Structure 1
Amino acid sequence: MLRAATAVTGQALRTGCAVLLSAVYVLSAAPAGARGVPPVAEGVEGYATTIALQELPPQGRTTYALILQGGPFPYDKDGTVFGNRERLLPTSKRGYYREYTVKTPRSRDRGARRIICGGLQPQQPDACYYTSDHYSSFRKITP
């Protein structure tokens, strides 16, 4: 009798694990908006999430000013090409987007905050986007 109960419990456990793994797979394959992740930048799949320049953290406003004046930037990666691999920003040719670090107080590394700007002239971007969660979501910066 104990052996039969153990077999049923083991089967229930395997079934439960399979259901859980299936749910994790489905959620990870879903678009960002469907996963409960904050909406992405304006112009992408109908979302219109923005942030006013004045709403950026002070370090973000400093980074934005440095972008418009062409630097100098505190991090070597600042101004490098952003590949948009997450495909959360409007699709453009490689080299269109550039990333810049927004310093995070008390962080030992570059932290998770970035400004991504798109345009052919880095000092005169067509649009800039802020992410506070290392590319999981973006908000278009409005002046």
Structure 2
Amino acid sequence: MLKAVAAQVRKAGVLCVVGVALVLGPVAGHARKSPSSDGSIASITVAELPPQGRSTYALIHDGGPFPFDKDGTVFGNRERILPAHQRGYYREYTVKTPGARNRGARRIVCGGKPRLPDACYYTSDHYASFRKIVE
């Protein structure tokens, strides 16, 4: 019986030690998506962003005003796709989606100072993947 449980734990990629679950590898529905095989993040030019993305990008550099209360709030990078930094380094901004009744799935996440970010990233799939915005 213990062997069967151990096999299931290995298959799920989870190890329980004194009631603490540690993720050892991909777990169904929660696989971490690598940006690319070499660990780099693909890029997108400002001109390639959708029109709403270009508007949001300009608002970020102008310091707002932003259309949503959540714009400018801390992005936790829980997916760990973006480069690791201390909490509070990244902030997220909504990229409006035509026809969406809510904020939609599109965002720009910037790291560093709010008006002068070190780097900004675009996601069209609600943080499942990112592309670095380049000028």
- Range class of TM-score, shorter chain: 0.7 to 0.9
What corresponds to 2:117 in structure 1? 125
Q: Which residue identity lines up with residue 32 of structure 1 in the other structure?
A: K
The TM-score, its normalising length taken from structure 1, stands at: 0.72
Question: Could you tell me which of 128, 131, 134 is aligned with 1:139?
Answer: 131
Of Structure 1 and Structure 2, which has the larger fraction of its residues in helix?
1
CA distance in 2, matches of 1:108, 1:28: 26
Residue type of the alignment partner of 2:56:
T
- Equivalent position amino acid for 2:61 in 1: L
Deviations 1:26-76 (A, max 9, x none): 55464413xxxxx26xxx952240000100000000000000000000000
- For 1:109 and 1:29, locate their aligned partners in 2 and report how far apart those are by CA, in whole Å: 24
CA distance in 1, matches of 2:31, 2:99: 34
Does the 8 A contact of 2:90 with 2:110 survive in 1?
yes
Distance 1:29 1:109, change over 3 A: closer
Gaps of 5+ in 2: 1-10, 13-25
**Equivalent pairs, count:** 113
Secondary structure of 1:135 counterpart: coil
* Distance (Å, rounded) in 2 between the aligned partners of 1:90 and 1:113: 19
Structure 1 distance, partners of 2:97, 2:31, is: 30
Distance in 2, Cα, partners of 1:70 & 1:55: 22
What SS does the corresponding residue of 1:99 show, helix, strand or coil? strand
Larger Rg: 1
More strand by percentage: 2
Amino acid of the residue matched to residue 128 of structure 1?
Answer: C
Q: Secondary structure at the match of 2:60?
A: helix
Amino acid at match of 1:126: D
What SS does the corresponding residue of 1:117 show, helix, strand or coil?
strand
